[in-house]
Amino acid sequence: MPAYNFSGAKLANIVQGPIISLVKEVVQSYHNNLDILAAVGAFYTVRKCLQLLSGCYSLIKQQVFPVLFSNTNTILKYGEWAVVTGSSDGIGQAYAEELASHGVNIILLGRNIQKLQNVSEAIISTYGVKTRIIVADFNKGLEVFPSIKEALEDVDVGILVNNAGVCYDYPACLTEVPEEKSMEIINVNIVAAVMMVYVVLPGMLQRKRGAIINISSGTCWKPVPLMTVYAASKAFLDSFTRALHYEYSSQGIFIQSLTPAFVVTKMVSYAGILRMKSLFIPLAREYAHSAVRTIGVSLRTAGYWSHSIKMFTAHRMPEWLWVLIWTYVNKRCRAEYLSKEKDN
């Protein structure tokens, strides 16, 4: 058997050769991968910068453009009359009054005739425009719409504001909400809005002009625990509106999804902090004054400067953080409401 006699130098060369080769391959691979990672990083950074610029432009468009370009002529070009659902109080009443201040005649639609008459009289005495009243309870479903359609047959409806809405009495998980309440939310927030579009859109298409404003909610931006059915109904309305725009904008119809955050109204009366005016919670008339100016300008907007900041932030916030915040807020509101109910 032959004997192998390696010197130390030879052995070192034999061992080091493959190691050096391996190191060279690793270094080369690292440099190649580093180039790839640098390219990916640059692409990601540029993409994020473009998204930020796009968001800033959208924010400016929502709040600055209406001030520069919106005026009474912009509102009146759609027609002489506006139909506002849920107009007996809250945002609906304030929106109707704001439209009337631009010289638009108002058709008030709601279920409480006395409240509607009060709003009608106030609008006539303050703004000198014509008004009509249609009494209808949207919770009754499809049966109410033939009479609404008949009442609007001879009217040049230029603007439809789908404002009527129902919310939870207080934040709660789904099975804690009565089935009747969930069905009421679906009937009023979804069915009524869709059917009112069926009622007025054909006339708008004949005249080749019109504006439809569907008032959704900031709860449509991302999932909202403890407001599940309400938030989902508003997400439907937002999606419905945006798709409707693509179908009919080429025929002269302006269709807007309005997504307000909290406004001081009876709808949020379950929590004391939401009934107080603040920087981010305006009065209904303040909100309506800002929102009406976005007609003809912004297709999807929060309608008010501080709400637009919230919307901008929400779209860039991870969903888990959004859900965490909303869960905390709704649990606090729920606890406050139940505590008051217990004391009473």
Residues 19 and 142 in one domain: no
Domain assignment of residue 1, yes or no = no
Q: Are 192 and 148 in contact (CB under 8 A)?
A: no
Residues 181 and 37 in one domain: no
List of E strands, the chain: 81-85, 105-110, 131-135, 157-162, 210-215, 253-258, 300-301
In three-state secondary structure terms, 190 is helix
Residues 303 and 235 in one domain: yes
Residues 179 and 249 in one domain: yes
Domain assignment of residue 4, yes or no = no
Average pLDDT of the residues in 22-47:
66
Q: Annotated catalytic, 95?
A: no
15: pLDDT strictly greater than 80: no
Residues 49 and 147 in one domain: no
Domain assignment of residue 240, yes or no = yes
Q: What's the number of domains the chain is made of?
A: 2
Range of the domain at 49: 12-63
Which of 44, 63, 82 terminates a domain? The answer is 63
Residues 103 and 206 in one domain: yes
Residues 94 and 34 in one domain: no
In three-state secondary structure terms, 213 is strand
Residues 43 and 114 in one domain: no
pLDDT, tens digit (0-9, with 9 covering 90-100), for 63-110: 566 655 556 678 999 999 999 999 999 999 999 999 999 999 999 999
CA distance 298 to 264: 23
CATH at residue 93: 3.40.50.720
Domain assignment of residue 237, yes or no = yes
Residues 160 and 296 in one domain: yes
Domain assignment of residue 2, yes or no = no
CA distance 124 to 46: 55
In three-state secondary structure terms, 272 is helix
Residues 57 and 100 in one domain: no
Least Cα distance to 92 among 83, 101, 84 occurs for 84
Marked catalytic residue, from 78, 230, 270, 287 = 230
Residues 109 and 19 in one domain: no
pLDDT, tens digit (0-9, with 9 covering 90-100), for 253-296: 999 999 999 999 988 878 777 878 898 999 999 999 999 999 99
Residues 57 and 161 in one domain: no
